[in-house]
Amino acid sequence: MKLLKLLAVLLACLVWSEAGFAHHVLGRPSYSLGEDSNTPPGMQIDTQIGNYFVTYMIFPAFPKAGERGRVNLYATRLDNGKALTGQVAFKVRDDVMFGDNNEEVLGTQSPDDSVFRQGFVFSGDGKYIITAEFTADGEPYSIDFPLRIGPPNSIGPIGFAVGAILIVLIGVNLIQRKRLLHTKIRRAHEETSR
């Protein structure tokens, strides 16, 4: 019986000591992570354009207004897998269907270990389009990528559509009730007048 108690105490100590090391296994705390950290991107898009396969990433995972963020672009040739050399120009504009679409230049970047990195800071929340432009083999390339700064709108187009449908259904229901009530009143009036 003493041996069983001793084994239980040793097992409890072993489990408790492993839990104590978990903080060190997980690495650094989240408050020390920034846009240059090795955190996963908020968005990663892979696309093919012309003779190139392009990977595009946005850091941090949820960019906010007034905070630094970064766009990474990596492009390789489809035929031989060589990385793009030269420079890539990054531009940004509002993602609006109608209205003013002023385009601003974020910067022009040379590759750093075959990756083109462009930092950004947006003053306001919203939806934007980032354009990456480069020239390779005498041909111009232009790629547009979406970027959301801040939280999404609580009611989007689907929410508006559902709300409109609900308003129409409630309106039809009220009209039908009113007709039914008038019909009942008319029948009751006809029965009393006979």
pLDDT at position 38 is 58
Question: For residue 32, what are its two tokens?
Answer: 């020390």
Q: pLDDT means per 10 residues in the chain (194 residues)?
A: 67 57 46 55 84 90 87 93 92 80 88 92 89 92 89 76 89 90 87 79
**CB neighbours of residue 44 within 10 Å:** 11
pLDDT at position 87 is 94
Q: Is residue 130 part of a domain?
A: yes
CATH number, position 64: 2.60.40.3340
pLDDT at position 132 is 94
Query: Are residue 128 and residue 189 in the same domain, yes or no?
Result: no
Which pTM value belongs to this model?
0.62
pLDDT at position 36 is 54
- 134: closest CA among 43, 45, 50, 57? 50
Of 114, 133, 149, which marks where a domain is finished?
A: 149
What is the Cα–Cα distance from 123 to 29, expressed in whole angstroms?
Answer: 27
pLDDT at position 7 is 63
Quote the number of domains for the chain.
2
Query: Are residue 165 and residue 143 in the same domain, yes or no?
Result: no
